[in-house]
Structure 1
Amino acid sequence: MNPSVSPDVSNAGETRTLPVVFSGKKGEYLKLWLVNMLLSILTLGIYSAWAKVRNTQYLYGHTQVEGHRLQYLATPLQILRGRIIAVILFGLYVLLSSMHPVANLVLMLLLLAAMPWLLIQGLRFSLRMTAYRNVRFSFNANYGGVLLHFILLPILGALTFGLAMPWVIQRLQKYVHESISFGGHNFSLNSSAGYYYKAVFACIGLAILYFIALAILGSGVFAALAAENPAAIGGMIIIMISYFMFGYVIAAVYQSMIRNHVMNNLSIDGVVSFNSSVVAMPYVWLMLSNALLLIFTLGLAYPVTQIRKNKFLADATLVNLQPAADHLVNTVSDQDSAFGEEAAGLFDADLSLT
Structure 2
Amino acid sequence: MSQVSSDRDSAAGPMSTFMPQNIDAHPMEFTGSGGEYFRVWIVNVLLSIVTLGIYTPWARRRTAQYFYSHTLVAGSPLEFTAQQRKMVMGFVLLMLITLAYNIAANTGQDAAVGVLLLTGAVLSPLIWGSAMRFRLGATRWRGLRLQFTAHWKEVYLASWPLFALALVWFGVFFGMQILSPELADVLQEVEDEAANPKMPSFTPAMGALLLLGLVLTVLCFIRLEYNYKSLLVLKAQVGAEKGRWKPVYMDFVKVWLATVAVFVLTVVGFSVLIGVLAGSSIALFAGQSSRMGLWMILVIIVSIIAGIFMLILASAPARAYREARMFQLMWNNIGVSHVARFKCHLKSSSYVGLRIKNMLLTLLTLGLYRPFARVSEYRMKCESVTLHVKGGVEQVAGAMVRQQQGGLGDALADAAGLDLIG
TM-score relative to the length of structure 1: 0.78
Match of 2:388 in 1: 320
User: 1:122-201 residue pairs with structure 2 within 5 A?
Assistant: 122-141=131-150, 142=152, 143-152=155-164, 158=214, 160=216, 162=218, 166=222, 169-201=225-257
Counterpart-to-counterpart distance in 1, 2:365 and 2:383: 26
* Residue pair 1:137, 1:332 contacting (<8 A) in 2 also: no
Partner-residue secondary structure (3-state), 1:187: strand
Query: Which of 82, 89, 114 pairs up with 2:90?
Result: 82
In 2, the alpha carbon distance for the partners of 1:92 and 1:77 equals 23
Identify if the C-alpha distance between structure 1 residues 53 and 252 changes in structure 2 by more than 3 Å, giving closer, same or farther: closer
User: Which residue of structure 2 aligns with residue 259 of structure 1?
Assistant: 327
Partner of 1:4: none
**Count of residues in Structure 1 that have an aligned counterpart in Structure 2:** 334
* Residue of structure 2 equivalent to 1:347: none
Please tell me whether the aligned partners of residues 68 and 78 of structure 2 are also in contact (alpha carbons under 8 angstroms): yes
SS across alignment from 1:181 = strand
Determine whether 1:37 maps to 2:45. yes
Q: Deviations over 1:200-239 (max 9, x none)?
A: 4434544565566566556645654664557996995996
Question: Which residue is equivalent to 1:3?
Answer: none
Confirm or deny that 1:292 pairs with 2:366. Answer: no
In structure 2, the partner of 1:107 is 116
Residue matched to 1:9: none
Distance 1:107 1:272 in 2: 44
Q: In 1, distance between residues paired with 2:275 and 2:88?
A: 57
Question: Which structure has the highest helix share of the two?
Answer: 2
Superposed CA deviations along residues 285-306 of structure 1, whole A, max 9, x for unmatched, are 2211222233233333332222
Secondary structure of the 1:131 match is strand
Aligned equivalents of 2:234, 2:315: Cα separation in 1: 31
Per the TM alignment, residue 163 of structure 1 is displaced from its structure 2 partner at its CA by 5.7
1:145 Cα offset (Å): 2.5
Please identify, of 156-165 and 245-254, the stretch whose mean Cα deviation from structure 2 is larger: 156-165
2:22: which partner in 1? 14
Shift in Å, 1:247: 2.4
From 405, 410, 418, the equivalent of 1:331 is 405
Matching residue within 306, 316, 322 for 2:374: 306
Q: Distance in 2 between matches of 1:224 and 1:45?
A: 47
Task: Tell me, yes or no, if the aligned pair for 2:162 and 2:220 is still in contact at 8 Å.
Answer: no
Q: Which amino acid aligns with 1:181?
A: Q
State which drifts further: 281-290 or 251-260.
251-260
1:170 Cα offset (Å): 3.3
Aligned CA RMSD, in angstroms, stands at: 3.6
89-98 or 185-194: bigger deviation: 89-98
Cα deviation per residue 1:89-133 (whole Å; 9 max; x = unaligned)?
A: 544454566473323322322222111111111221121111111
CA contact (8 A) 1:150 1:172 kept: no
Unpaired segments ≥5 residues, structure 1: 1-11, 343-349
Query: What CA distance in whole angstroms lies between the structure 2 residues aligned with 1:99 and 1:74?
Result: 39
Tell me the SS of whatever aligns to 1:300: coil
Partners of 1:69 and 1:132 within 8 A in 2: yes
Deviation at 1:146, TM superposition (A): 4.2
The alpha carbon displacement at 1:273 in A equals 0.9
Q: Percent of aligned pairs with the same residue?
A: 22
Q: TM-score, normalised by structure 2?
A: 0.67
SS of the residue corresponding to residue 378 of structure 2 reads: helix
User: What is the SS of the residue equivalent to 2:416?
Assistant: helix
Rounded Cα–Cα distance in structure 2 between residues aligned with 1:81 and 1:170: 29
